[in-house]
Amino acid sequence: MAQQLANSPLKKLAGRACGAPINRRVGNCMTIFAAAIGKRIGDRHRAKAKQSQDYGCYRLLPGGTGIVAAVSDGAGSAPEAGTGSLVAAHYATMGAWRRATEKSAEPSACVRAGIRAAREKLEERAKRDRRSMENYHTTLIVAAATKNKAAVAHIGDGASIAKTGGQYKMLTIPARGEYANETFFITMDGYKNLTAYNEVHEPEELILFTDGVQNELIDFKGKRADQEALLRLKFLDIPAERNQPTTEAGQLGIRSTTHHLLNQWLEDGQTTHGDDATILIIRPPSEGK
């Protein structure tokens, strides 16, 4: 990573696989939000001994009553795609978190703040490095959730899915550019008009993922979430941990360690192995029985 990251909390995120579950239970009742991230380095990057250009991270709101998160996917053609993806996911999460904690904002306002923060930091990075923004091309999905409502902001491919009323539904879908295998990036001019937004009430689960996972979880013919695929995935039964893991990025509280069950599913499943793949699962507190 460049010198600017050397003494930054970002250094602890760079080169890592990304999400440990964050759960706390009292009896059978999960009292705070839970999250987990899975990640796989694509075959093309493995062949060249390169790191993944996908990133994912999340942070609980105070008391665990809400959560903000982001996943990103650097463009393979961009020289600094990994840096762009890392900066976007990290600062989108922090921007959304600050908006939520400083002003008790609605989730929709938090994800917009996350998009703004990511774009500003990418512009700062490009200016500091004296490079154009296209060198840092990356997609970005930002989510913010409370028990009553969740919102997502999304630019590029990958997708987001919500479970509500016992059914999975698409929140945002992969965005396609003018040509085949082309998409949009937060580093583009006019990115505001290319960003999709959506929200859902009383979410039972949120799933964010990059394009390396989308063919497995989306029924593209029907343009809907693949209910059967989602229901049979092993990661839907991730056991709760009794203790909250320690902070991994200084005082920022950003989590980015992968969960082994999700990693195993990505390695063993039918996902597109040529691409990097990242998936992030969020669950709200449950009442228990």
**Portion of the chain with pLDDT greater than 70, in percent:** 72
Contact in structure between 29 and 288 (CB atoms under 8 Å): yes
The predicted pLDDT at position 236 comes to: 55
Comparing 61 with 236, the larger pLDDT belongs to 61
- With H, G, I as helix, E, B as strand and everything else as coil, classify residue 144: strand
- Report CA Rg, the chain: 17
Return the pLDDT at 21: 37
Look at the alpha carbons of 145, 252, 1, 264 in this order and tell me if their dihedral is positive or negative. negative
Structural domains of the chain in order of their starting residue, each with its CATH number:
19-283 (3.60.40.10)
pTM reported for the whole predicted model: 0.83
10 with 87: CB under 8 angstroms? yes
Q: Please report where in the chains the tokens 């239970």 appear, as a residue.
A: 25
* 154: pLDDT strictly greater than 90: yes
Q: Decide which of 215 and 247 is more confident.
A: 215
Task: State both tokens at 275.
Answer: 């691409």
Q: Backbone dihedral region of 102: left (phi > 0), alpha (psi from -120 to 50 degrees) or beta?
A: alpha
Q: What was the pLDDT predicted at 263? A: 76
Pick from 14-18, 105-109, 113-117, 216-220: least confident: 14-18
The yes-or-no verdict on residue 246 having pLDDT over 60 is no
